Structure 1
Amino acid sequence: MENLFSFDIVFFGGKGGVGKSTSSSAFALAAAKKRKKTLLVSTDPAHNLSDLFDEEIGDKKRKLTDCLWGLEISPENESRRYINQVKDNLKGLVKSHMAEEVNRQIDMAAVSPGSEEAALFDRLVEIVLDEKENFDLIVFDTAPTGHTVRLLSLPELMEAWIEGMLQRRQSINENYSQWLNDGEPVDDPIYRVLMNRKDKFSAARKVLMDNKRTAYIYVLVPEKLPIAETKRAVKLLEKTELRVNALVVNKCMPVHAGDSEFIQKRRNQEKRYLTQIEEMFSSREKLYLPLLAEDISSREALETIMSCFLE
């Protein structure tokens, strides 16, 4: 896992409940221990970072150690901020008697499916582009698999959508110039806004698709459903040209767990699943984390897992 510390951005994904927050936090803590200035960002609506570090983090960067900062993005707050930004962009671009209706339509769009994901992606792009100069490493603790796959496939989709909007807008401007402006180019603020967003998404996509700068780690446990979901997610990401670099296999039965009949049955089952993981993901690096006797609910317990990333 040592080579993962050389990346600029590392995403942690996986099925709900497999330990993404614990793994990403331990990895970020390990990076900070190596004196890398690190930003740990949670995009999961069910934030766990505050609980793990035993202090309130919220949606503003908060210093957690000498080299580690934390940030919890609220999809609801981001959606609200995103909608207000859209309204601000349209000020002065629509006639006053139409402004109220336009704002009503925007408010309706705000509660449509996918609006929070679009707003969350906008903030993610902002962090990727603006914070990369301030930190050596940015670690993302993402929401469960399906959400993550959709989020990471958005750059290409959004860029293609805006490209279509630009082409239509350019066609309108050309017709307008020919009909009413003697062929002279028209200054179109909406076109400028769209072009700026296209450039921003293109820049973010370039970073996210660069396998020398961005790494993707999937967390799973040695059980049937998480293995099957990880297999699907890896294939889906590969279709969007994103390669999963490594797997974190969490909650593996420790050697000192005992030898009761129950424990032995669990060991035999786990052994089959671990073999399956080795065969199914043979080309990917893997880190095996032990199942601990108690929940990881403090920084001290988190440091136990952190040491696994430093070995």
Structure 2
Amino acid sequence: MTEEREERPASGLRRLVFLGGKGGVGKTTLAAAYATMLAARGERTLLVSTDPAHSTSDVLGVRLTGEPTEVETGLSAVEIDAAADAARYVEGIKRDSKESVSPEVLPTIERHLDLAKGSPGTEESALFERFVDLISLCPAEYDRIVFDTAPTGHTLRLLALPALLSVWVEGMVRQREKVAGMERMLRNLAGRDEPAGDPVLERLRERRQRFHHARHRLLEDTTFYLVTVPERLPIEETERALSTLTAGGVHVGALLVNRVLPERAAEGDFMRARLDQQREYLREIERRFTGYRTVRIEQDARDVTSRSQLREIAARLKDAGLG
């Protein structure tokens, strides 16, 4: 209970916020606006982009890197480079291997690790490690962290990793404990001194604790906002994502229906037809997602390219009561 009180603000709001959905529905713009809203009300906010497209720099008009950069008072942002993180991740495994693997076997292991650098599984594992590092900054350095995620499938795999990796590391710990027990027995029989510690086992236990903690934060301290638009394919993908998130115990805060054409735009046969179809989809969204709050964000007349436009969208999110 103590850990939860430390990680949840006094208001009861969850500190970690994810915005996800189908590619192209405007997640990056809404994530940046949401983070802007939080910073404007005095919360130290970190905006994190896990999307390989790295559009967050473009939306904010600031060159971002793999480390937090201050955008404005109370708001910092970071773009995760999964490929670079994967390379560092593999190098870290190499360093650990030197402590626990015989010199004869080490070159073979290093060759396999070099081949693994570019694999999707390696990048996702590295991305998750970076994710764990970043959430550890909250609440000590940031009051809230907003994640602009990759398209739905990639995000759902990322959210599933804590459980999968926890099981995998748990098995590795048990295997290492068995090996360590055999090594102790052999040293005793040979009359050799006991070494100071087992660096491999210590590292595995540390990783196990990190993964357990990350899983706890995802289940107890996370709100997920699904972003969609009033069109057929995004609605279908939203329903699948909602089912997966709720089955996994992730709290869904609301559905953000983006790029809603204003009714005042009904001029000409084409626009009237578009609005008629949009009304059908909006009714379908309300029907299919009964029980979940929906928030509509109207389409701007022009592309969002300035901080002032972000603040306008942030004001709409605030008026909608999002927190």
| TM-score, L = length of structure 2 | 0.90
Q: In the alignment, is residue 98 of structure 1 matched against residue 108 of structure 2? A: no
Q: In the alignment, is residue 136 of structure 1 matched against residue 156 of structure 2? A: no
SS in 2 for 1:300: helix
Distance, in Å, in 1 between the alignment partners of 2:284 and 2:12 is 27
Distance, in Å, in 2 between the alignment partners of 1:161 and 1:285 is 37
Judging changes above 3 Å, is the alpha-carbon distance between structure 1 residues 86 and 130 closer, same or farther for their aligned structure 2 residues? farther
Indicate the residue corresponding to 2:164 in structure 1: 157
Indicate the residue corresponding to 2:246 in structure 1: 238
Contact 2:222 2:251 in 1 (8 A): no
Shift of 1:5: 9.4
Indicate the residue corresponding to 2:15 in structure 1: 8
Indicate the residue corresponding to 2:302 in structure 1: 294
1:157-306 alignment runs, 5 A limit? 157-182=164-189, 187-210=197-220, 213-306=221-314
SS in 1 for 2:78: strand
Distance, in Å, in 1 between the alignment partners of 2:49 and 2:310 is 16
Structure 1 unmatched ranges of 5 or more: none
SS in 2 for 1:96: coil
Q: Percent identity?
A: 37
Distance, in Å, in 2 between the alignment partners of 1:219 and 1:5 is 23
Contact 2:19 2:225 in 1 (8 A): yes
Shift of 1:174: 2.0
Judging changes above 3 Å, is the alpha-carbon distance between structure 1 residues 105 and 310 closer, same or farther for their aligned structure 2 residues? same
Distance, in Å, in 2 between the alignment partners of 1:225 and 1:185 is 62
Indicate the residue corresponding to 1:42 in structure 2: 49
Distance, in Å, in 2 between the alignment partners of 1:176 and 1:89 is 19
Contact 1:246 1:284 in 2 (8 A): yes
Structure 2 unmatched ranges of 5 or more: 1-10
Shift of 1:25: 0.4
Letter in 2 for 1:304: E
Contact 1:14 1:145 in 2 (8 A): yes
Shift of 1:148: 0.3
Distance, in Å, in 2 between the alignment partners of 1:304 and 1:112 is 41
Distance, in Å, in 1 between the alignment partners of 2:115 and 2:204 is 21
Contact 1:174 1:185 in 2 (8 A): no
2:122 to 115, 121, 132: 115
Letter in 2 for 1:47: H
After TM superposition, the structure 1 stretch with the greater mean CA deviation from structure 2, 144-153 or 106-115, is 106-115
Contact 1:22 1:296 in 2 (8 A): yes
Indicate the residue corresponding to 2:84 in structure 1: 77
Distance, in Å, in 2 between the alignment partners of 1:6 and 1:180 is 54
After TM superposition, the structure 1 stretch with the greater mean CA deviation from structure 2, 167-176 or 152-161, is 167-176
| TM-score, L = length of structure 1 | 0.93
Judging changes above 3 Å, is the alpha-carbon distance between structure 1 residues 113 and 70 closer, same or farther for their aligned structure 2 residues? closer
Distance, in Å, in 2 between the alignment partners of 1:177 and 1:310 is 61
CA deviation map 1:158-183 (0-9, x unaligned): 00011111111112222333344259
Superposed CA RMSD in Å reads 2.0
After TM superposition, the structure 1 stretch with the greater mean CA deviation from structure 2, 80-89 or 176-185, is 176-185
Distance, in Å, in 1 between the alignment partners of 2:92 and 2:111 is 15
Indicate the residue corresponding to 1:67 in structure 2: 74
Runs of 4+ residues deviating >3 angstroms: 182-187
Shift of 1:185: 7.5
Judging changes above 3 Å, is the alpha-carbon distance between structure 1 residues 195 and 116 closer, same or farther for their aligned structure 2 residues? same
Letter in 2 for 1:235: S
